[in-house]
């Protein structure tokens, strides 16, 4: 059994009518003989994903099915989804490593789940790349980077990127809020905004992986991810 958790990127391919037309990684794993539980939900924040996964693992443990879980793949989403739920950027809450701090806290929480239920959780950089650490699993036991950046994998055949972007689309008022924020980190955040906007535009040059909406990977993008994960021997044929 494999669990997939995440936002809309974990759901699969989306049409212009906001309907799922192919379940992506889930379908390819099922074709490979795996039983898959996909708890991804469009619009989820990382905090939402954590809560959904925690609830799923608790239920499985109650019905003695937790031992059947061979792997868990979590699509990382944008940090600002949680941030805007609880804060205004004008609240001046940023420190120099704010985004990394937010993500690190998320990874620690996932690590607690991994340890509690004796499972391994593989992070997939979806509409947000993951943080990259060479000794990631030492820092966050039970959690590892399965794919640093799905976007970079589709664009360059390499999942690693030296210019990680932690959003795909920012709220329209984010640049204005950053300018108002009293933070040493302002230039980094503005650079992130520019990087994000440029990368989002670049997706239109790769319709084979991101058409039709160019905001989500299509079935071919998910196939590329599936083949990459399989080449890394992160799962075996069922």
Instruction: Output the CATH code of domain 2-231.
Output: 3.40.50.1110
Determine the pLDDT at residue 198. Answer: 87
More confident: 87 or 115: 115
CA quadruple 111, 124, 152, 89: dihedral, nearest 10:
-60
Determine the pLDDT at residue 79. Answer: 80
Q: How many residues does the chain have?
A: 238
Cα gap 238→235, rounded to integer Å: 9
Determine the pLDDT at residue 194. Answer: 83
Tokens of 100: 């990394």
b/e 152-171 (16+ beta carbons within 10 angstroms → b): bbbbeeebebeebbbbbebe
pTM of the model: 0.90
Determine the pLDDT at residue 86. Answer: 52
Confidence of residue 87 (pLDDT cuts 50, 70, 90): low
Mean pLDDT of 184-197: 77
Q: Which residues lie across from 4 on neighbouring strands?
A: 38, 73
Determine the pLDDT at residue 92. Answer: 41
Determine the pLDDT at residue 168. Answer: 82
User: What is the secondary structure of 190-227 as a DSSP string?
Assistant: HHHHHHHHHHHHHGGG-HHHHTTTSSS--HHHHHHHHH
Count the Cβ atoms, other than its own, within 10 Å of residue 210. 23
Cβ distance 219 to 22 under 8 Å? yes
65, 172, 193, 203, 224 from 198: Cα distances, Å: 44, 15, 9, 9, 22
More confident: 109 or 188: 109
Q: Which residues contact 207 (CB under 8 A, 6 or more apart)?
A: 214
Q: What is the pLDDT of residues 48-66, one digit of tens each?
A: 999 999 999 999 999 988 9
Cα gap 130→73, rounded to integer Å: 13
Determine the pLDDT at residue 96. Answer: 45
Cα gap 73→30, rounded to integer Å: 14
More confident: 201 or 27: 27
Residue 218 has pLDDT above 80, yes or no: yes
Determine the pLDDT at residue 165. Answer: 86
More confident: 50 or 197: 50
Percent of the chain with pLDDT over 90: 67
Question: Which of 27-31, 119-123, 195-199 bottoms out in mean pLDDT, i.e. has the lowest?
Answer: 195-199
Tokens of 60: 């499985």
The beta-carbon contacts of 139-142 under 8 Å, at least 24 apart in sequence, are 139/107, 140/107, 140/108, 140/110, 140/111, 141/111, 141/114, 141/115, 142/110, 142/111, 142/113, 142/114, 142/115
For residue 14, the surrounding DSSP H or E stretch is: strand 13-14
Lay out the sheet containing 143-147: strands in order across.
Answer: 36-38, 2-5, 71-76, 121-125, 143-147
Residue-averaged pLDDT of the chain: 88
Percent of the chain with pLDDT over 70: 88
Q: What is the pLDDT of residues 159-170, one digit of tens each?
A: 999 888 888 876
Determine the pLDDT at residue 237. Answer: 54
Determine the pLDDT at residue 170. Answer: 66
């Amino acid at each position: 059994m494999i669990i997939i958790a995440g936002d809309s990127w974990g759901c699969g391919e989306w049409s212009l009518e906001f309907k799922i037309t192919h379940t992506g990684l889930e379908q390819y794993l099922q074709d490979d003989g795996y039983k898959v539980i996909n708890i991804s939900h469009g619009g989820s924040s990382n905090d939402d994903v954590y809560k959904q996964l925690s609830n799923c693992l608790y239920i499985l443990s109650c019905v003695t099915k937790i031992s059947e879980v061979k792997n868990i793949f979590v699509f990382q989403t944008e940090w600002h989804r949680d941030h805007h739920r609880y804060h205004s950027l004008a609240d001046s809450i940023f420190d120099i490593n704010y985004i990394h701090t937010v993500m690190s806290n998320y990874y620690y929480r996932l690590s607690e789940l991994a340890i509690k239920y004796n499972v391994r959780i593989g992070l997939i950089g979806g509409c947000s790349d993951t943080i990259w650490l060479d000794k990631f699993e030492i820092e966050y036991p039970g959690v590892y980077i399965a794919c640093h950046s799905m976007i970079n994998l589709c664009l360059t055949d390499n999942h690693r990127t030296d210019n990680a972007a932690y959003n795909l689309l920012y709220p329209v008022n984010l640049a204005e809020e950053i300018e108002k924020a009293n933070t040493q980190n302002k230039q980094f955040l503005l650079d992130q905004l520019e990087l994000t906007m440029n990368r989002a535009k670049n997706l239109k040059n790769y319709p084979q992986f991101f058409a039709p909406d160019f905001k989500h990977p299509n079935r071919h993008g998910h196939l590329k991810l599936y083949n990459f994960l399989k080449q890394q021997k992160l799962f075996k044929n069922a």
